[in-house]
Amino acid sequence: MNKVLQVRSIEKYYGNKSNLTKAIDNISFDVNEGEFVGIMGASGSGKTTLLNLISTIDKVTCRKYYSK
């Protein structure tokens, strides 16, 4: 199958050195052609942040991000 999205080791931090919050911690996954993907988690777990990072609305702090 062809990969349409490959995300490797993305992280997102908010704040500054004295008050740093990690919103996304080392997330990796692939999405293959024809797949349906759902993102689930508790409130405040980073679902919207993850989608904003993938869609480039927001900038990742640390990443390896591949898209076809």
- pTM across the whole model: 0.79
Evaluate whether the domain defined by 3-67 bears CATH number 3.40.630.30: no
Pair of tokens at residue 41 = 């988690």
Nearest to 14 by CA among 41, 43, 40, 53: 53
Which tens digits make up the pLDDT trace of 3-59? 999 998 899 998 888 898 889 988 999 999 999 999 999 999 999 999 999 998 988
The ranges assigned to domains in the chain are 3-67
How far apart are alpha carbons 65 and 24 in whole angstroms?
14
DSSP assignment letter at 43: T
Q: Do the beta carbons of residue 65 and residue 12 sit within 8 Å?
A: no
